[in-house]
Chains A and B, each alone.
Chain A
Amino acid sequence: SAVISQKPSRDICQRGTSLTIQCQVDSQVTMMFWYRQQPGQSLTLIATANQGSEATYESGFVIDKFPISRPNLTFSTLTVSNMSPEDSSIYLCSVEGSTKSETQYFGPGTRLLVL
């Protein structure tokens, strides 16, 4: 199984500012995913990030608001730009498992509160 860490684990930010969330994996993976979990809600996929290509965004999410970097096979960042209180959520990164298991592993999440 993959071990995933995220930084920061939580943050409180002012509206209009931006926050970059880091996701580090202990093994090389091709596909990484970013999800958002709004308070009391389920997880919604923001985008899929493959190393060496532009991230693919789901409907309702745009690159200007959530730019993603994927510089190598073990690391990715998600930036939440020009934040508003509606961006208060838990942001989770996940990675695909091995081809054989095809299981997705999740990081511990970043709890963001925007005031």
Chain B
Amino acid sequence: AQTVTQSQPEMSVQEAETVTLSCTYDTSESDYYLFWYKQPPSRQMILVIRQEAYKQQNATENRFSVNFQKAAKSFSLKISDSQLGDAAMYFCAYGRYDATNKLIFGTGTLLAVQP
């Protein structure tokens, strides 16, 4: 069975600095996709970034980028120029290419941004 591990329960970063959140996963599949979701205090789950395993190029969305290491089964999220609004819980999620689109989530990393 697939598993997703986020080993950093909490992280802190200074405003305008860069922070990297870690995520590792375990799978025997060769084709899959990975997500980072953000959950601010409002509780709403917001998609941050998406990566397909067959793509070698790392996904980027403005200040958010990933470092996808398929062989190491690692999918870290880098937030550049951190802003106060980036403070949230961040979840890494794994999805298989099957007929269900089910996702497996990690336990989350709570990011604090210090002014």
Q: Are chains A and B native binding partners rather than an unrelated pairing? A: no
